[in-house]
């Protein structure tokens, strides 16, 4: 066999060309992937030519670096065909990487096709030598070169697909990937060259006497020029595209500002009448299609003209901006708050029923009623609101606006600083709820709230262990109202927070009074609503109450319903742990009506479970409710919790619960809720000193200490 040798300089340049071709391929993949339309097609064609020329040049320079003891040359037509194969394989590679996805099956198919194209290019280039009698190939080395071509193609496709986007430090990643791909391409070429053997006596049929060094120099210069021009054009186009993007963004911003000026109020940046009418038209279409409701609220500031006259328009504008901020804070993102001009605002809000509109209007009135601190002045204004509800109060935008406006003027004539519905007689229940809400806001300050106390008896019939505080409202016109009549409204409007603080303080005060009267073993339980339990200052509020009234913490029990406790178990556990660490007891109320997780239940720092009255009421030996009650008591015993059963109304229930081991009973059979004066009368009738009292038939007698 003839022994060949390599020109080290040309081998080095072949590697340089391979790396540059690889970088060009990665850059072109990014350009094709980020371009659209005809631009993407031009980048695909230009990139395929540059990339294909680069890969072909690397192979051609590598072959020119190879020399034999005989003159060598290359058939021009076969050499040109190998270039076409390289460009075709490059075009296929770029097309694959510019797709939205590149699954593994497509990656493998692409690697096989491109690897076959690269291998065909290489061995057709070898055939261009036209060696006679013929090149002898080592099968193992030939298979290795083809395998390297497939693996290099797959790696190149994957890298190009991953690096096509404008990632962070993408140029550095592309340089590193280009080195890896260049090494793979060079490795394939020289592995293929190692597979070729040239028998003694062979001659090159394409020898033409051309100096291979000068030919290599020409190919290197032309290839580097093409690759450089391609990369320069790519960089310039990327900069132009970035500048175009900036200009487009600026134009979009300018259009947005023009749209803002056309559809929004200049001072408050709220939607103006034009945009409000469009939103109202859309709301009408949605409500008609979905058979839903919405409320239109016409709002006007009371006393704004006086502020303008006294302090000037500049301070008046500041006041309008501050009012806008408060109104926005009270509305939801999906609602439309607009300014029609002057001190007139309109709110378009989706609702489920008129009560929702009343609640929202009350919040708006309340948030505006607080004084405004502007410059060195303290300013006070109020809000008058008129409400029109679709579909009852109008079928068109004009009717709804007119009716809401009319209702607003009705509010002003009725004393301002409030709200009213258009044609309120249409819905008597709404009017009643509005009045009830208005009265409820004054209940605490007017001293109309009352606490009744229901005794909790040690099973089966005494002595009394303590009391549960139950809220009542002594309405000046409607008389004594039970919690069902007003607590849902109080929770919905968050009035339950100040009411709950009053209940806690009053219950602690009464307990302190009982202790001073000699009933030091009595305890009191206070219920907490969901809204109260979510307050961040709950622990501080409870702590302040027991310290202010000087009661032992262990004599106070906080009752939380199972539903509230399981709403956010981790938060519930954290809050109850803080309370119990102070010595306060915790009770899970209405147990069995919610969906407790036993995992959380065992972690709750509670000392008591209360069985809901619904199970006790229907309980009879052998039925489902009795089985449930038995299971609850057994579960409580296993967890070391005391059990309280409420709603005990019959002697059979009393006996059954006592037999199951229920420690505490509460219900009308034993006694009804009473005011403190009635409790003291019962104690006096039983001639009580510092001991508890029990009930025997209809009489109260003393229980020895």
Question: Rounded distance, CA 510 to CA 677, Å?
Answer: 11
pLDDT at 619: 79
**DSSP 8-class letter at 271:** B
**DSSP 8-class letter at 165:** S
- Per-residue model confidence as pLDDT tens digits over 562-598: 777 776 777 888 888 888 899 999 888 877 665 555 6
The DSSP bridge pattern shows strands 585-591 and 293-302 to be unpaired
174 has pLDDT over 60 = yes
More confident residue, 647 or 41: 647
505 has pLDDT over 90 = yes
- Per-residue model confidence as pLDDT tens digits over 318-373: 999 999 999 999 898 889 999 988 889 999 999 988 888 999 999 999 999 999 98
- Per-residue model confidence as pLDDT tens digits over 236-268: 666 666 676 677 777 777 677 677 677 888 888
476 has pLDDT over 80 = yes
More confident residue, 417 or 413: 417
Calculate the average pLDDT of the chain.
78
Q: Mean pLDDT, to the nearest integer, of 224-239?
A: 64
- Per-residue model confidence as pLDDT tens digits over 654-676: 888 888 888 899 888 888 899 99
Q: Which of 223-237, 408-422, 586-600 has the highest mean pLDDT?
A: 408-422
Weakest mean pLDDT among 312-316, 437-441, 639-643, 687-691: 687-691
Question: Rounded distance, CA 466 to CA 472, Å?
Answer: 19
SS (H, E, C) 663-705: CEEECCCCCCCECHHHHHHHHHHCCCCCCCEEEECCEEEECCC
Show Cβ contacts of residue 43 under 8 Å, excluding neighbours closer than 6 positions.
28, 31, 32, 35
pLDDT at 179: 67
SS (H, E, C) 560-605: EEHHHHHHCHHHHHHHHHHHHHCCCEEEEEEECCCCCCHHHHCCCC
pLDDT at 385: 93
pLDDT at 204: 76
552 has pLDDT over 90 = yes
Q: Mean pLDDT, to the nearest integer, of 501-515?
A: 93
How far is CA 681 from its chain centroid? Answer: 57
Q: Which of 162-171, 384-393, 500-509 has the highest mean pLDDT?
A: 500-509
The encoded tokens of residue 625 equal: 């409710």
More confident residue, 296 or 63: 296
Closest alpha carbon to 689 in 700, 705, 670: 705
Q: Mean pLDDT, to the nearest integer, of 390-416?
A: 83
The DSSP bridge pattern shows strands 608-611 and 585-591 to be parallel
pLDDT at 697: 37
| pLDDT tier, 17 (very low <50, low <70, confident <90, very high otherwise) | confident
| pLDDT tier, 114 (very low <50, low <70, confident <90, very high otherwise) | low
Q: Mean pLDDT, to the nearest integer, of 305-309?
A: 79
Show Cβ contacts of residue 522 under 8 Å, excluding neighbours closer than 6 positions.
464, 465, 466, 467, 511, 514, 515, 555, 692
| pLDDT tier, 704 (very low <50, low <70, confident <90, very high otherwise) | very low
211 has pLDDT over 60 = no
pLDDT at 338: 92
| Owner of token pair 């006694």 | 671
The encoded tokens of residue 160 equal: 């190009």
Question: Rounded distance, CA 134 to CA 136, Å?
Answer: 6
**DSSP 8-class letter at 128:** T
Q: Mean pLDDT, to the nearest integer, of 206-218?
A: 56
291: left (phi over 0), alpha (psi -120 to 50) or beta: left
pLDDT at 225: 64
699 has pLDDT over 50 = no
- Per-residue model confidence as pLDDT tens digits over 592-632: 665 555 666 677 788 888 888 878 887 777 777 788 888 88
pLDDT at 268: 87
- Per-residue model confidence as pLDDT tens digits over 49-89: 666 666 767 676 767 666 777 777 667 777 777 777 777 77
Question: For the CA atoms of the chain, what is the radius of gyration?
Answer: 44
pLDDT at 690: 43
Closest alpha carbon to 582 in 609, 556, 600, 608: 556
More confident residue, 696 or 523: 523
| pLDDT tier, 689 (very low <50, low <70, confident <90, very high otherwise) | very low
The encoded tokens of residue 604 equal: 């709750």
Weakest mean pLDDT among 13-17, 42-46, 383-387, 494-498: 42-46
pLDDT at 694: 41
């Amino acid at each position: 066999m003839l022994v060949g040798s390599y020109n080290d300089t040309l081998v080095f340049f072949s590697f340089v060309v391979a790396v540059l071709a690889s970088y060009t391929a990665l850059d072109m993949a990014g350009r094709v992937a980020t371009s659209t339309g005809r631009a993407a097609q031009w980048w695909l064609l230009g990139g395929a030519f540059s990339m294909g020329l680069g890969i072909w040049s690397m192979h051609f320079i590598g072959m020119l670096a190879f020399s034999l003891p005989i003159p060598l040359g290359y058939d021009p037509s076969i050499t040109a065909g190998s270039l076409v194969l390289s460009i075709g394989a490059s075009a296929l590679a770029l097309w694959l990487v510019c797709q939205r996805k590149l699954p593994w099956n497509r990656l493998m198919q692409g690697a096989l096709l491109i690897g076959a194209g690269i291998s065909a290019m290489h061995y057709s280039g070898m055939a261009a030598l036209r060696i006679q009698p013929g090149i002898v190939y080592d099968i193992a080395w030939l298979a290795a070169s083809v395998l390297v071509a497939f693996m290099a193609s797959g790696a190149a496709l994957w890298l190009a697909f991953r690096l096509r986007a404008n990632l962070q430090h993408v140029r550095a990643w592309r340089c590193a990937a280009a080195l890896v791909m260049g090494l793979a391409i060079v490795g394939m070429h020289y592995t293929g060259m190692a597979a070729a053997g040239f028998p003694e006596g062979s001659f090159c049929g394409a020898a033409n006497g051309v100096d291979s060094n000068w030919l290599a120099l020409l190919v290197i210069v032309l290839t580097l020029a093409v690759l450089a021009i391609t990369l320069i054009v790519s960089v310039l186009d990327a900069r132009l595209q970035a500048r175009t993007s900036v200009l487009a963004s600026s134009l979009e911003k300018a259009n947005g500002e023009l749209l803002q000026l056309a559809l929004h109020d200049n001072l408050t940046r709220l939607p103006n009448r034009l945009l409000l009418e469009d939103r109202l038209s859309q709301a009408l279409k949605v409500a008609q299609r979905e058979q839903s409701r919405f409320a239109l609220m016409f709002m006007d500031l009371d006393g704004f003209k006086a502020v303008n006259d006294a302090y000037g328009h500049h301070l008046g504008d500041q006041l309008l901006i501050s009012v806008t901020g408060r109104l926005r804070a009270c509305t939801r993102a999906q609602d439309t708050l607009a300014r029609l001009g002057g001190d007139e605002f309109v709110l378009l809000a989706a609702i489920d029923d008129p009560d929702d509109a009343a609640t929202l209007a009350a919040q708006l009135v309340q948030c505006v009623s607080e004084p405004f601190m502007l410059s060195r002045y303290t300013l006070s204004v109020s809000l008058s609101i008129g409400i029109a509800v679709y579909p009852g109060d109008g079928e068109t935008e004009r009717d709804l606006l007119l009716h809401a406006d009319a209702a607003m003027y009705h509010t002003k004539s009725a004393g301002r600083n409030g709200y009213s519905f258009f044609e309120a007689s249409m819905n008597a229940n709404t009017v009643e709820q509005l009045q009830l809400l208005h009265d409820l806001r004054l209940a605490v300050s007017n001293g109309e709230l009352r606490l009744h106390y229901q005794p909790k008896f040690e099973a089966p019939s005494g002595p009394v262990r303590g009391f549960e505080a139950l809220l009542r409202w002594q309405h000046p016109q409607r008389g004594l109202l039970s919690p069902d009549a007003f607590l849902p409204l109080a929770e919905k409007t968050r009035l339950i927070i100040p009411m709950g603080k009053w209940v806690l303080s009053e219950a602690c005060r009464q307990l302190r009074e009982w202790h001073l009267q000699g009933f030091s073993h009595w305890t009191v339980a206070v219920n907490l609503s969901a809204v109260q339990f979510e307050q961040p200052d709950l622990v501080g509020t409870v702590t302040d109450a027991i310290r202010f009234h000087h009661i032992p913490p262990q004599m106070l029990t906080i009752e939380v319903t199972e539903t509230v406790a399981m709403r956010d178990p981790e938060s519930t556990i954290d809050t109850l742990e803080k309370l119990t660490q102070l010595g306060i007891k915790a009770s899970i109320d209405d147990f069995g009506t919610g969906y407790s997780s036993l995992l959380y239940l065992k972690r709750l720092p509670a000392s008591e479970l209360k069985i809901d009255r619904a199970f006790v009421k229907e309980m009879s030996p052998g039925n489902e409710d009795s089985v449930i009650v038995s299971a609850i008591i057994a579960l409580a015993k296993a967890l070391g919790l005391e059990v309280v059963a409420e709603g005990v109304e019959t002697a059979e229930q009393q006996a059954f619960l006592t037999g199951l081991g229920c420690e505490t009973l509460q219900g009308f059979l034993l006694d009804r809720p009473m005011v403190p004066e009635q409790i003291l009368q019962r104690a006096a009738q039983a001639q009580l000193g510092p001991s508890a009292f029990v009930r025997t038939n209809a009489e109260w007698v003393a229980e020895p200490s």
